[in-house]
Chains A and B, each alone.
Chain A
Amino acid sequence: MEGRPLTDSELIERAKGGDLAAYEELVRRYEQVAFRAAYLVCGDADEARDAAQEGFLRAWRALAGFRSGAEPRPWLMRIVANAARNRRRGSGRRAHLAMRIAQDRPSDGAAPSPEVAVLATERRERLLAAVNQLSEDDRTVLGLRWFADLGEAEIAAALGVPRGTVKSRLSRAMGRLRLQLGQEEERP
């Protein structure tokens, strides 16, 4: 094993050669983003865990078809997102997912003044409240884009819609969020 961490491409190549440890390492790198994306799609942590696991297992079986040199993340995310979408469709229901701010969120290093900290907290809470006021579809598309950091193509795969639809849905959801924030801010 080299002294430096292997790149994703190197891990993929090793995995294609049957190196399970390399594949595990690759999954470890993406398990969080995959799980969170699946959570936003399924609305349930257990379903999300199963979907992510199922997606990574499918990806292993499909490794032979993975084009060498390509970025593995979009490919992996597409497979996991498909698994999540199928699970959501299969269960025929969707838990109402309302995100909230963690009480013990990590410090970002520099200690802000108490006033700045209070303002930042208020702004975050107002922003999240506005997100939670949106429709399920708007929350999902915004969550996948900004909370799970998925690209348009990955969101398209997650939702099973064309990429152009993602683009327009995102734009409309952002508009409604701005509107919601305006209303929130107008309230006394």
Chain B
Amino acid sequence: MSALPPRDEALGLELAALAADLAWPSTPAIAQAVGRELAGDGARARGPWGRGWRPARRALVLGVLAALLVIGLVAGIGFALGGLRIVFGGPPPGSPLPPELVAQRGFGQRTDLDAAAGRLGGLLLPSDPALGAPDHVYHDDRTGAVTLAWGTRPGLPADPASGLGVVVTEFRAQITSGTFTKVLHEGALLERASVAGHPAYWVAGGEHFFFFQRPNGAPLESTIRLVGTALIWEADGLTLRIEGVREMADAIRIGESMAVRSAP
């Protein structure tokens, strides 16, 4: 848990102490009910790994596995069927990201590059051939941020859990350097860098929170929930952030390849 200002810390402790005095509804015997439910379901015999399956279910699962095996073998060599070539891989570029991931990362609503450029009044787009066009484009009405996301690219693997590789976020705000370093969690490293002559920050390790300031001075909070790195800089009135690139030099190369895509 992050440190609170002293006055909040004291008040928090008072609230925590108050918790013991509250008239909570008595806690039901949930463990017992869960145990009964699982035992009734035959879970005791099967366990979470599914041992002791009923024969019909086992046959069904084995059938599905066999079908997947055949499909996998076919996929390995490609499969021509009536002129249709079936190739297996990740979701095709442009497929929506899982809603849970979008909500968790606060990406906002799905959009396209023209609309995103229109909303930001111009967008910076990497022209690095290693990336190509983004697989996903999102716009968050709340923060005004545009997010461009790529899946796996050669030399730039995606996170197997989220399927996300490089993520570029752009919004109209200024980095408030006064609070910048204060919100880095212990263990996170902050390094000064430069992207095409613009001062930049390279952050690696742990989870960080960044605070930005809109052009009108209002604070805008942005959370980076990464287990990796982020390169942050300002250019053309935009604050840009690249996540998901392991090496600073690669992130800078992508940053320096960014070219303006004007609003339609």
Residues of A within 8 A of B (CB): 15-21, 23-25, 27-28, 31-32, 34-36, 39, 45, 48-49, 52-53, 56-57, 60-64, 99-103, 105-106, 108, 123-124, 127-128, 131, 142, 145-149, 151-152, 160-165, 167-168, 171, 174, 177-178, 181
Instruction: Decide: B48 and A61 in contact? CB cutoff 8 A.
Output: yes
- Residues of B close to A100: CB separation below 8 A: 22-23
- Residues of A close to B16: CB separation below 8 A: 146-147, 149
- Would you give the shortest CB distance from B22 to chain A, in whole angstroms? 5
> For chain B, which range describes its interface: under 10, 10 to 19, 20 to 34, or 35 or more residues?
35 or more
- Would you give the shortest CB distance from A95 to chain B, in whole angstroms? 12
Instruction: Decide: B221 and A164 in contact? CB cutoff 8 A.
Output: yes
A61–B21 CA distance with the chains assembled, in angstroms: 35
With A24-B32, A165-B223 already in contact, the answer to whether A149 and B49 are too (CB < 8 A) is: no
Selecting from B89-97, B102-110, B241-249, the interface stretch reads B102-110
Instruction: Decide: B31 and A18 in contact? CB cutoff 8 A.
Output: no
Cβ-neighbour of A27 out of B31, B44, B46 (below 8 A)? B31
Nearest A-chain residue to B222, judged by Cβ: A164
Nearest B-chain residue to A80, judged by Cβ: B30
- Residues of B close to A56: CB separation below 8 A: 30-31, 34
In the assembled complex, B72 has its CB within 8 A of some CB on chain A: no
A99–B193 CA distance with the chains assembled, in angstroms: 51
Instruction: Decide: A151 and B33 in contact? CB cutoff 8 A.
Output: no
In the assembled complex, B81 has its CB within 8 A of some CB on chain A: no
- Supplied contacts A24-B31, A161-B103, 9 more A-B pairs, CB within 8 Å: A18-B51, A24-B34, A31-B28, A31-B29, A36-B27, A100-B22, A146-B16, A162-B223, A174-B11
Instruction: Decide: A131 and B15 in contact? CB cutoff 8 A.
Output: yes
- Residues of B close to A16: CB separation below 8 A: 47-49
* Interface SS of chain A: helix
Nearest A-chain residue to B1, judged by Cβ: A151
Instruction: Decide: B209 and A102 in contact? CB cutoff 8 A.
Output: no
- Residues of A close to B51: CB separation below 8 A: 18
- Would you give the shortest CB distance from A131 to chain B, in whole angstroms? 7
Instruction: Decide: A167 and B14 in contact? CB cutoff 8 A.
Output: no
Selecting from B35-43, B63-71, B131-139, B173-181, the interface stretch reads B35-43
Q: Which of B1, B19, B28 has the most CB of A within 10 A?
A: B28
Nearest A-chain residue to B21, judged by Cβ: A105
Cβ-neighbour of A53 out of B8, B30, B47, B49 (below 8 A)? B30
- Residues of A close to B38: CB separation below 8 A: 20, 23, 57, 60
Instruction: Decide: A52 and B30 in contact? CB cutoff 8 A.
Output: yes
With A36-B24, A36-B27 already in contact, the answer to whether A167 and B2 are too (CB < 8 A) is: yes
With A35-B28, A164-B221 already in contact, the answer to whether A57 and B37 are too (CB < 8 A) is: yes
Instruction: Decide: A124 and B31 in contact? CB cutoff 8 A.
Output: no
Instruction: Decide: A147 and B18 in contact? CB cutoff 8 A.
Output: yes
Instruction: Decide: A146 and B19 in contact? CB cutoff 8 A.
Output: yes
Cβ-neighbour of A102 out of B1, B12, B21 (below 8 A)? B21
In the assembled complex, B7 has its CB within 8 A of some CB on chain A: yes
Instruction: Decide: B48 and A101 in contact? CB cutoff 8 A.
Output: no
A149–B13 CA distance with the chains assembled, in angstroms: 11
Nearest A-chain residue to B44, judged by Cβ: A20
With A142-B15, A162-B105, A164-B222 already in contact, the answer to whether A53 and B21 are too (CB < 8 A) is: no
